[in-house]
Chain A
Amino acid sequence: MRIRFYLHLGLWSALFAVFLALSVRIVGPAILENKIGPIDPNHSTDSYLSGLTHVRNGSELFANLIEIVPREKSLVIFVDAESSPSEFLGMLVAYLSWPHDVRIVKAREATLERELTAAKSSSVAGMFFCLVKPPASLTGGTHFGSSIVFVPTVGLGFNP
């Protein structure tokens, strides 16, 4: 019985020692990184927009940008199908564009023009290009930081 107890104790002590030795190297630095704040209503979206577009206070500025778009019209968001940051930015734009209806188009450079033509419609108020370079045929785009371009209907080459 005593041998069984010491074996049990030895086994679990060894397992916990290895477990902690491997964990502390990962968990320790993770706990120490970052600091609290800012205590802001748009804490997360501002942080992501700042990282991806280098725009500070981005959520509020985005709300100002979207305010001019008629509520009943929809928005098309172009993202790069092969870029995770582009897709994330597209979803972030969709998140911030409420209550507008949105459509996210995952495009590749070769097919962008075709996708653009297919997306044009009188119900579309504008198009966002997230880490995607808009085709040269589009004019009147507004840059939102370094990674988003917004092209309102007037720049889409048709009369709604």
Chain B
Amino acid sequence: MMILGLLAGYFTLFAAGIGVALLIMKGSPRLNLIECACLAWLFGVGVVSLLLWLGETFTSGIALQCLVAVLCLALGIVGWRTKQGRQAHFSLPRPKSTVEWILAGVLLLELFIIFVVCLKHTLGWDGLLVWEIKARYAFLDSGVLPEAYYSSAGRAFSHPEYPLAIPFTELWLYLWMGAPHQFWIKTIFPLFYIAGALLVALFVTRLSGKPWLGLLAALLIPFVPFVTASPGGVIVGYSDIPLSVFYLTALGYLLCSLERNSPSALIAYASILTLIPWIKSEGIILWSLLAAMGLIVGLRQHRLRPFLVAILPGLFLITGWRVYLKAMHVVTASDFARPSFQLLRENLTRLGAIGGTAFAEITETSHWSIFWLLVLVAIIYLLIARQLLRLLLAISVLGPIILYSLTYFFSAWPSYTAHMTSSLPRLLLHVMPAGWLAIGLALQLSAPKAQTGKLESKLD
């Protein structure tokens, strides 16, 4: 019965997600099935968690579950009808050569192994005490995260101020299963990984014109030790891999929008961008960077307005969440002091130690092997190419690393280097898939020229 509930939870979530994905891609005559499935998962997570959060302000229990389920199914039906009305067809991209068949086969096997490996581990420290705790308490309180939780000083360790995308996705499955379940809930995390790996393959293929490069980049992701063999990676139920996948997706569509001037890519960028701050608080930094990059693209294409509009939903979400937390009298763990120029001036002496610690982490082969060296070489390739697309990709990888490192100027920990050592590896994970996108494009020897038409027929 519990498994049936779990499947029903996933079905409604995917129904909402595919509905949104189909509405976004309504202009495309052919719909890439793999792309739709990945987007269905990401949008499903966003829609379900947002609906639960908004819904709990005026209802709870079975009424809340029914309301969200009906809206999810309605979204699915509307999306499907739109697709049928426009006579769009699903297409499954097939490998074209023996090499591509082999790479695709190995990638499938690898994704299955990752799924199994995720089920072999317990939820990690943060997976349990920061994310699942919210889903559990909300479930025990008829689907509503109680105000007492937000204002409980004794539970400030669980960061009540963190956004609810992951916990409320877990809550949705709990509501359908009828009980909190720390084993079955782990199934959501490999799905983020699978979506991320497939989207790396898709974007590298779409931007380079070479499917084998996309498949190779996706295939190599789990060989970054921190992804599969460290606390913080895909196996422990943290939100860093999910955030990295949302970041990659928004970035990928922004680059596609620049390359092809496609309205559906722009809408996909805007939609995923909105959800980035909803995954984890650090998402605001990634959101800001991508929003700024979007404006650069808008200026370049002489159509600033749609990119300005693209920022608005995220801005509303960030503000809405802040207001909600204030209304809930949230107690926050003070890891960072309030940023100010005076504090920055006082802490400038930290610069050397911050740079040194960041360098030590990036060169830590037990965490990353030589992944960051690959990324560095890729960035050199991208910069040499002197194209806006490649320059933006380089910025999207380097920018978050620099911005994240700068935040430690405001660390309130007694030892800011200890703070860095404990959190920086997970922050670096946020740009890891974007790093693979950079590597994939660098592997392509020369920048493609006017391949777009051929590519579309290959990939869509």
Contacts and interface: CB of A to CB of B under 8 A. Distances in A.
A77 B153 CA distance: 12
A19 B370 contact: yes
B366 interface: yes
B152 A11 contact: no
B223 interface: yes
A41 B182 contact: yes
A4 to B, nearest CB: 7
Given A34-B120, A77-B154, A98 B140 contact: yes
Interface residues of A, number: 46
Contacts, number: 116
Contacts of B148: 99, 101
A30 B229 contact: yes
Interface stretch (A20-28, A140-148, A149-157): A20-28
A15 B154 CA distance: 48
A103 B225 contact: no
Nearest to B225: A26
A47 B116 CA distance: 18
Contacts of A99: 137, 140-141, 146, 148
A29 B365 CA distance: 16
Q: Is the interface of B mostly helix, strand, loop or mixed?
A: helix
Nearest to B146: A99
A94 B157 CA distance: 10
Contacts of B351: none
Interface of A: 4-5, 8, 11-12, 15-16, 18-20, 22-24, 26-27, 29-31, 33-45, 47-48, 74, 77, 88, 91-92, 94-95, 98-99, 101-104
Interface of B: 113, 116-117, 119-123, 125, 127-129, 132-133, 136-137, 140-141, 146, 148, 152-155, 157-158, 179-184, 220, 222-225, 228-229, 365-366, 369-371, 373-374, 377, 443, 445
15 contacts: A8-B445, A16-B220, A19-B369, A22-B369, A26-B225, A26-B229, A26-B369, A39-B183, A42-B182, A74-B154, A77-B154, A94-B155, A99-B137, A101-B148, A101-B154
